[in-house]
Amino acid sequence: MLKNYLLVAIGGMTGSLLRYGMSQLVRSASFPSATLLVNLAGSFAIGIILGCYSTNSSQDESLRLLLATGLCGGFTTFSAFSAENWQLIQNGNYSTALLYIAATLLLGIGATAFGFILTKN
């Protein structure tokens, strides 16, 4: 049981560091581009991971915990997404907030589906 917690912690730490690195590489004052890119990449990655596990249930659960729960969980930034939208709304940037919400939700679900479908070939 402790092993599972350690795997999630290691994956989460790695994902958080990757997210921070992305925020340093992609900076935009007018649109939260780094968070959008992280959420799309994380959605795509978790689609691939879950797709692989749906076809081969005999795979080691440890790897799924490390990659899906830990890495993707630490990498994706839905809490930052919520905070950034709240800030946009508070500043009166309603159209930017709406665009950001729609792009994140629609493209994120699409990226997850695309990643999942790629594993089915």
Q: Count CB-CB contacts under 10 A for residue 5.
A: 11
Q: Per the annotation, does 73 bind a ligand? A: yes
Q: Per the annotation, does 76 bind a ligand? A: yes
Q: Is 70 exposed, middle or buried (0-12, 13-18, 19+ CB in 10 A)?
A: buried
Distance CA 64, CA 17 (A): 19
How far lies 59's CA from each of 20, 23, 30, 52, 56, in Å?
A: 30, 33, 43, 9, 6
Sequential DSSP letters for 68-86: IIIIIHHH--HHHHHHHHH
Known binding residues are 73, 76
Known binding residues for Na(+) are 73, 76
